[in-house]
Structure 1
C-alpha cells in the first residue's frame, strides 16, 4: 500500500516515531477489522460493577524511571485472540497472572476461554466483546479461573465447561484507576504489577503498527474499543512510553506482540 510506504519513508527520515507493516489485517475491510478484533464494549453495556479507586503511594515515594514486568517474570507469552473479539479476556487474565505471580512466585497461564464461555451472566458477550471488571467479578464469585491447560482457547463461543479441579488462580476483588490519569497508572504499574487498560485501536495506523513508539493524534481518549495489558513503562529519546502486551500475533513478527505507546 502506498500510504504505508510513504509513512515508513517519513519514519526513516526521523519524522515519525514508529513504522508500519502490511499484515494479515490487510485482507480485511477496516470496519471488519474493528468489529472483529476490538472487543472492548464499555459504551454498549449497561451492567456495571463499582470498584474501589486505586490510591497512589504518597508523593514522597520515588517511582523507578522504568519498569518491565516481563523481566521480573510476571508476564506470560503473548497469545493470539484469532477472529474473536476476546481482547477483554486476554487483558483480564494477563492482569491476574501478574498478581498471582507476585503472590506465589509462580507464573501460570490462565484460561481466556473460561471467561469467553462462562462470564455471560455478568454481562460479557464472548467473542462479541466484554469488559475486564465483569471478568474479575465472575472469577471472584466463581471461586477462581481454570488454567489454559485445563480449559484451552478455541477462539469461538462455546458452552461453559469450567471445572474447579483445573483452577489456576483466584481473585478477591479489583480496583479502578481514574480514567485518563497517567500518573496514577504509572504508580499502579510500578507498585502493583501489570494493569488491564483500554484504548482506541480503531485507526488504520494502529491496524498496521509494526514497531517504535506509537503516537497518533487521531487516537481518542473517549472512544475506547480494545483491551490490552500495560506491563511496563520507560523513556526513549526523551519520549515517555507505555510497554503494552497485545493479543494479536503476526507470524514471524516479534514486534507485533508488544506495543510501545506514547505517554502524554
Structure 2
C-alpha cells in the first residue's frame, strides 16, 4: 500500500509502523464483543481519527464489530469499523478533491481503568485496488490523470504554491509524470503539516520546507536513523550523578561551545553529527579551543555502524577511542557518502578517554548539561519534516519513546509558556 494508507497510529500522523506497546499480561483467548460493549472504544477511535480535522471533513461511523480480551488492568478491543468521509475540495483543509468515500479501518483500543488509548490504526478506501505504491498513490490522490478534471480554483491554487516551492528550492524533475507525482506528495504533505500545526501546544511553526516533496517513507529512509529505535536498550556505563540542581535556563551557543549548524545532506548520518557536537563541546571546555570535527571520519572508519544507513552514538564514541582521535573538518571534509577510511593518527586533533550514559530524568539532564556541556541525545523526530521554527511541543502520544529515530545535540534549555 501507499505510505498514507499504511498503519498510522494517531490521526494518520505517525510513521508506518506503530510502536510496540509495553508488555502486558493478556488472556490468550479473545471473545466476540456485543455491539453495546463496543460503543465506548469505537467512539473513542472515531474521535481520534477525526482529531485535527476541520468541520465538514470529519468521518462518521457506519458499522463496527470487534473482539475483546483481557489486558493487564483493562481490556484490549480489536475493532473492524466502516467509516464514511464527506466530500471535500478545499485545498487549505483537506486532501485533493474526492467524492464521499467509505473507509475500512482496523483499530486497537486499550480500555484501562476507565481510560482509552489508541494503540493501532489502519484505514484504507474500501474500493482501493493495490498495484504498486506509486501507481496506487497517483490514482488515489492525484486526479490530474483521470478524465474528470480538478475544480479550477483548487488546481490553480495548488499549482501556484507548488511552482513557488519548485523555484524556491531549485527542484527539477525528469518527466511530467514525476512532476505530477511530486505535486501529489506535496499536496498531501501540506495537509499533514496543517494537522501537526493544529495539534502542537508550543510555539513551533510547521509548513513548507525543502523536504515537502518527499514521502514520509523517503524522508525517514534518507535522513533518519532506524537503528536508534532497534537498539534503544543498548547502554554504556552509567554516569555518576551530579544532582539535579540546574539554573533556570542555559544556552551553550552563547558561551562558545557550539560550532555553526552543519548539514548532513541526503545521508542518515545524524548519529555522527550528534557525537562530534558533543566532543567539540567537551574539548572546548577542557582546552578552551572550539574545533569543527570530522563526521566523515566516523562514516568511513567506524566499521560497526552503517554510515548513511544509520548508527549508534555509543558505537561512535568507541570508534573514536579505538582510532586514536578525531581529525578536524578541514583535514577530513564531509562528502555525505561512504568512502574509504583515510584517517591519519598524525592529523588527529582531539581525543577522548571514555563515554557514559546519562539519566533520562529531564531535571538531571539539565543539571548535567549546564555543568558538563552539550549532550548527544536521541529523539522522536515527529513533525520535523515540516518544522520551520519555534519550540515544538507535540502531544505526548505523538512523541513516543518507542519511535526514537534521530540523533541531535542538546545545547540548552529554558522555560516557555505553552497554550
TM-score tier by shorter-chain length is 0.7 to 0.9
1:226 to 402, 406, 409: 406
- Check the 8 A contact 1:7/1:19 in 2, yes or no: no
Is this contact kept in 1: 2:228–2:406, CA < 8 A? Answer: no
Choose which of 89, 110, 117 in structure 1 pairs with 2:272.
Answer: 89
Q: Which has the higher contact order (CA 8 A, sep 6+)?
A: 1
TM-score by length of 1: 0.79
Q: Is the 8 A contact 2:321 2:352 kept in 1?
A: yes
Residue deviations 1:170-221 (CA, integer Å, cap 9, x gap): 000011013x3212211211111000000111x3x22111112101220111
**SS of the residue 1:196 aligns to:** strand
In structure 2, distance between residues paired with 1:135 and 1:212: 30
Normalising by structure 2, report the TM-score.
0.51
Structural mapping, 1:56-71, within 5 Å: 56-58=241-243, 62-71=245-254
Q: Secondary structure at the match of 2:254?
A: coil
- Cα offset, 1:6, TM superposition: 6.8
Q: CA RMSD in A?
A: 2.4
Alignment CA distance shift 1:36-1:141 (3 Å): same
Conservation of the 8 A alpha-carbon contact between 2:239 and 2:358: yes
Contact 2:201 2:392 in 1 (8 A): no
Unaligned runs of 5+ in 1: 240-264
Shift of 1:104: 0.5
User: Of the candidates 104, 123, 142, which is equivalent to residue 287 of structure 2?
Assistant: 104
Check whether the contact 2:246–2:363 (CA below 8 A) recurs between aligned residues: no
1:222 Cα offset (Å): 2.1
Residues 122-156 of structure 1, C-alpha deviations (whole Å, 9 max, x = no match): x2000110011111111111110111011000000
The superposition leaves residues 80-118 of structure 1 with CA deviations (integer Å, 9 ceiling, x where unpaired) of: 101100000000000000000000000000000000000
Cα distance in structure 2, aligned partners of 1:157 and 1:231: 28
**Which residue of structure 1 aligns with residue 130 of structure 2?**
none
CA change 1:214–1:58 in 2 (3 A) is: closer
The alpha carbon displacement at 1:237 in A equals 2.5
Q: Is 2:371 the counterpart of 1:188?
A: no
- Give the counterpart of 1:161 among 338, 342, 349: 342
- Quote the residue 2:255 is aligned against: 72
Distance in 1 (CA, whole Å) between partners of 2:289 and 2:380 is: 32
Q: Given that residues 116 and 125 in structure 1 are in contact (C-alpha distance below 8 angstroms), is that contact kept between their aligned partners in structure 2?
A: yes
Larger Rg: 2
Gaps of 5+ in 2: 1-189
